[in-house]
Structure 1
Amino acid sequence: MSALLDRVRRSDDGAFDRRLIAPMILGAILNPINSSMVAVALVPIGIAFGAPPAETAWLVSGLYLATAIGQPVVGRLVDTYGPRPLFLVGTTLVGLAGVVGALSPQLWVLVLARVLLGFGTCAGYPAAMYLIRSESRRTGLASPAGILTVLSVSTQTISLVGPTLGGLLIGLGGWRAVFAVNVPLAVVAFTLGAWRLPRTPRTGPAPRIDVAGIALFAATLVALLLFLMEPERWWLLPVAAAAGAGFARWELRSGDPFLDLRVFGGNGPLLATYGRTLLSYVVAYAFLYGYTQWLEEGRGLSASVTGLMLLPMSVTAVAASALTGRRPEVRGKLLVGATAQVLACAALLTFGGSTPLWLIVGLAILIGIPQGLVSLANQNALYHQADPERTGASAGLLRTFGYLGAIVASVGNGAFLAERADTPGLHHLAAFLLAVACGFLAVNLAGRSLRKVGGDA
């Protein structure tokens, strides 16, 4: 990472205000580190509270439900008020969530802590994308590829190292340490944000916040996501449809909408980027949570050893991002990543309780390739496709679609690994993921608009 930062400083991105890099990166990684560390803590938490995987899955879904709603909302507020105030409020919530989780006496309190983490970590990524866009305007550099790569590599690194770090923390202080670590992280992030993030000058009267639009958007997502998590509650689907129709009608008639559907609706390439993000996250997060639980229960590895078995995935992902990050092409990265996902899901069908460790390491290396390429490619595509005036909201919505995919993965994990993460359940999950991965590959093969981003042929 330090070598990559040095390259940024020496490159044409050197005009970027380097004082912003530390708070940008730390703010942006708060969500992925909390998304991934808990993967190896689910089994110990379930044992501590006597809860099956179907119940501990709410620790995953609770964070994603909050984040999926909060990301575009906070992103719009960042566009309106600037990144500093939202960043400081968010890091304060992260610290509070760390305290609540570390002292939690019951599972539902842990779920509450994860919801707080979801809302608290919403500001980091939209704030970073806002700052990159504003610095691009100030310096006159239209495509700050180096900074975008640093941001992507940072979030990818921490997301993939998260299980290893989580396993280390559990080995040192039990599963509560996975929550407690947020307290010092929040203190450092808040301090850096207060010290280095610029105040955004306000000109004219305070802008109006589309409260009704935000409320309808939240109602739509809550109903939809709860339906995905518990499909037997079929009545939530028409509720989501009605709320969504009301949201669309309100936003199309609003003079200053929360999400300008006319802009998004007329931007097919951006919508395609959101769709690709959803599909890729289904596979990525099913591996992160479902496969990780199988390594502990089906293969019989400890949390610490499981974290070490996933470390090659992290190394491969970081290497893939670092080696290709400064190349502007998008389509090639997506095709390679999608192909690797298909191969990894197919390989998972052959795994069992006696699978040798070298094959587990090999699969970790293989799945690390799309982890390093796909998010970077989609982030770069969004930077070029989004309306510059709505960068924060667009970036937040990108994360929302990612978390929709993560929740679908969580639903799959809960369905196929409901009582225990055993080998038959893993094979059913792998078949589902193989179908999703093939769909993701097909979408990328058909994506003609991608050839216009970064000069792909």
Structure 2
Amino acid sequence: MTARHPAPTDRFDRRLLAPMMLGSILNPVNSSIIAVALVPIGVGLGAPAAETAWLISALYLATAIGQPLVGRLVDLYGARRLFLAGAVLTIVAGVVGTLAPSIWVLVAARVVLGLGTCAGYPAAMALIRGEADRTGMASPSGVLAALSVATQTIAVVGPSLGGLLIGIGGWRSTLVVNVVLGLASLVLGWLFVPATPPGRQAAGQMRDGTARLDTVGVGLFAALLLGMLVFLMDPTPARLWLPALAVVAGVAFTRWELRRPEPFIDVRVFAGNVPLLLTYARSLVASTVSYCFLYGFTQWLEQGRGFSPSGTGLLLLPTFAVGIVATVVAGRRGTVRVKLVVGAVAQLLAAGMILLLGDGAPVWLLLGVVVMLGLPQGLVNLSNQTALYHQARRDKVGVSAGLLRTFMYLGAMVASSTAGLVFGRQATTTGLHGLGLVMLVAAAVFLVLAVADRGLAAIDAGEREAARR
């Protein structure tokens, strides 16, 4: 079943916006709600902090691996099937999590949840690509801006929503919300996400009409990411075998993919697409800065500066508010390069301000940091998404979009590991300055990548041409 009435032939089908936006927020809403639910879950299930931390890590690991996998499945089978399958997995994870009798059952539910919520973003990018081809839309900047605003809004309301749900029904109510959102996604996807038209192949199918998934390639890719990410969670000498495993898996993955007629990730295509690789690199270093702020700076506000958790939450609100405003304002104007450069400079200035902070730093200086980091919050993800839309091959848009999220989560894991290394047992001002130096270096790399990427000029020319039409 598809939409009840034919889509307009000359403009973007706005009925797709609701399922696209809902599918895209499923992952971030669970990432933000869990932040306020960890302590109640630990008390309720008798689990120490070392075990409840796996509730965050399990979602990140499943998502980092699942995003390109589900993206490839979107390329093979179309957006509708994967969108609906993701909604079903989200419902299942919500039910299992709500009834979980132990912490490890809940961790398993979070893994299923990570896989289920992977479908929304690659499916949305594939739908945007399909609508552009159908309508002749030159630039989807307005639609991409809407997705970005939805994601950032959830980042704002997620912790507050989690606190409200816990107050009403305890920590298990934060899992029930996935049942509700999953059911809503299932209904909206069933009604409005179109199926692949009869007689037309999905983008990634073979010429004989079959669709084959490179399962060996998926397994090697998973081993590569697991080796890297699990090591980053606790980078100790005893775990050095994990990056060694990642290297071996990476070599085996590359050799295997080069020999496959229909690889999971076409290494030749990605290796030859330097602009796309630069977009992935920008996503990694920019998200490293962003998550260093979210993980490290917020921890210092409570332990080093003496703010309460609620006070810290209020202080961070301007970051997301400025990010939403920046997305709305820049969504339909300005070039990709300008947005990236402004975002990189803002990250550099914020990192420099962090180096000036002391134990008694005034509130106005703290507000300066959070406001400054709101600009890249709104500009960078939107710009990287726009760049990827233009750089990815049409038949690889799903897996390409999934990999963009993988690099973002890799940056998050790097930031989490960095915060653990510089702070140790206590988030001191000395540790904050070490974190600031890491942020400064990452932001400088981001700026170089934005300025030196000549491929952005062609994208900007296309965006300007689309704006004139």
TM-score (norm 2): 0.87
Moved more, 97-106 or 380-389: 97-106
Structure 2 residue 163 is the aligned partner of structure 1 residue 159: no
- Residue 140 of structure 1 aligns with an amino acid whose one-letter code is G
Q: 1: distance between equivalents of 2:167 and 2:364?
A: 23
Matched residue SS, 2:402 = helix
Q: 2: distance between equivalents of 1:47 and 1:361?
A: 34
Q: 2: distance between equivalents of 1:161 and 1:335?
A: 28
Shift of 1:356: 4.2
Q: 2: distance between equivalents of 1:106 and 1:299?
A: 35
Shift of 1:202: 6.0
TM-score (norm 1): 0.89
Match for residue 279 of structure 1 among 262, 266, 285: 285
For residues 86-140 of structure 1, give each alpha carbon's deviation from its aligned partner in whole angstroms, at most 9, with x where no partner exists: 1122122223333444444554444333322211111000000000011111111
Shift of 1:447: 2.2
Q: Structure 1 residues 70 and 81 mapped into 2: Cα distance closer, same or farther (>3 Å)?
A: same
Q: Structure 1 residues 320 and 126 mapped into 2: Cα distance closer, same or farther (>3 Å)?
A: same
Residue aligning to 1:212: 216
Q: Structure 1 residues 262 and 224 mapped into 2: Cα distance closer, same or farther (>3 Å)?
A: same
The unaligned stretches of length 5 or more in structure 1 are 1-11
Indicate conservation of the 8 Å contact 1:61/1:410, yes or no: no
Q: Structure 1 residues 106 and 309 mapped into 2: Cα distance closer, same or farther (>3 Å)?
A: farther
Indicate conservation of the 8 Å contact 2:22/2:185, yes or no: yes
Moved more, 414-423 or 188-197: 414-423
Indicate conservation of the 8 Å contact 1:167/1:303, yes or no: no
Shift of 1:392: 0.6
Residue aligning to 2:29: 33
Matched residue SS, 1:453 = helix
Q: 2: distance between equivalents of 1:215 and 1:24?
A: 29
Mapping 1:250-329, distance limit 5 Å: 250-327=256-333, 329=335
Matched residue SS, 1:398 = helix
Q: 2: distance between equivalents of 1:301 and 1:104?
A: 33
Q: 2: distance between equivalents of 1:352 and 1:169?
A: 36
Residue aligning to 2:438: 432
Mapping 1:132-147, distance limit 5 Å: 132-147=128-143
Residue aligning to 2:3: none
Residue aligning to 1:391: 397
Moved more, 336-345 or 358-367: 358-367
- Residue 223 of structure 2 aligns with an amino acid whose one-letter code is A
Matched residue SS, 1:150 = helix
Residue aligning to 2:193: 197
Residue aligning to 2:145: 149
Residue aligning to 1:451: 457
- Residue 153 of structure 2 aligns with an amino acid whose one-letter code is T
Indicate conservation of the 8 Å contact 2:47/2:103, yes or no: no
Structure 2 residue 350 is the aligned partner of structure 1 residue 338: no
Q: 1: distance between equivalents of 2:427 and 2:43?
A: 14
Q: Structure 1 residues 348 and 240 mapped into 2: Cα distance closer, same or farther (>3 Å)?
A: same
Aligned residues: 445
Residue aligning to 1:84: 80
Q: 2: distance between equivalents of 1:93 and 1:134?
A: 25
Q: Structure 1 residues 144 and 432 mapped into 2: Cα distance closer, same or farther (>3 Å)?
A: closer
For residues 275-324 of structure 1, give each alpha carbon's deviation from its aligned partner in whole angstroms, at most 9, with x where no partner exists: 00001111112222333333344444444443322221111001001101
Q: 2: distance between equivalents of 1:81 and 1:295?
A: 47
- Residue 258 of structure 1 aligns with an amino acid whose one-letter code is F
Structure 2 residue 77 is the aligned partner of structure 1 residue 73: no
Residue aligning to 1:380: 386
Q: Structure 1 residues 298 and 102 mapped into 2: Cα distance closer, same or farther (>3 Å)?
A: farther
The unaligned stretches of length 5 or more in structure 2 are 1-7, 200-207, 465-469
Shift of 1:192: 1.0
Q: 2: distance between equivalents of 1:404 and 1:366?
A: 23
Moved more, 432-441 or 394-403: 432-441
Q: 2: distance between equivalents of 1:429 and 1:46?
A: 28
Q: 1: distance between equivalents of 2:448 and 2:107?
A: 36
Q: Structure 1 residues 106 and 430 mapped into 2: Cα distance closer, same or farther (>3 Å)?
A: farther
Shift of 1:219: 1.4
Q: 2: distance between equivalents of 1:100 and 1:205?
A: 37
